[in-house]
Amino acid sequence: MGEKILVVDDEADVRMAIKDVLEDEGYGVSIAEAGKEALAILKKEKFDLAILDFFMPEMSGRELAEEIRKDPQIKNTKFAFLTVADFGVQGKKQLKKLDSLDYIRKPFDNEDLVRRVKKMVGE
């Protein structure tokens, strides 16, 4: 294993919970608490997956995803959204447009999170 994952969430407890769960599974996990910080990290390091909180102040997860897709250096970054929202048909279409691999509902189940991450990084 050893895949690298970036977790972007403005809530420290959520970031740390995901980090702990994924590190226990052998993943290398970096964290960011805002979109601009995440973009800077993505430009410095290559990640196998980024998990983006959909609702964040300053730059939402959707805006962050749009920035990722626009930047030639990081546009191929695989990502999934983390959200409290339950997306309807329109919301799911938007996610597809951004080429998001998945969306994980908060609060998340640890085993479900691990299963989804494994699928997204191609294990």
Range of the domain at 76: 4-118
Partners of 50 in beta bridges: 6, 79
CA dist 70 and 28 (Å) reads: 26
Q: Are 83 and 108 in contact (CB under 8 A)?
A: no
User: Is residue 123 assigned to a domain?
Assistant: no
CA angle 6, 8, 12 (to 5 degrees): 115
- Give the chain's domain count: 1
User: Is residue 42 assigned to a domain?
Assistant: yes
- To the question of pTM greater than 0.85 for the whole model, the response is yes
Q: Residue 1 above 60 pLDDT? A: no
Distances (CA, A) of 117 to 67, 70, 88: 22, 24, 22
User: Is residue 33 assigned to a domain?
Assistant: yes
CATH number at residue 108: 3.40.50.2300
pLDDT class for 114, splitting at 50, 70, 90? very high
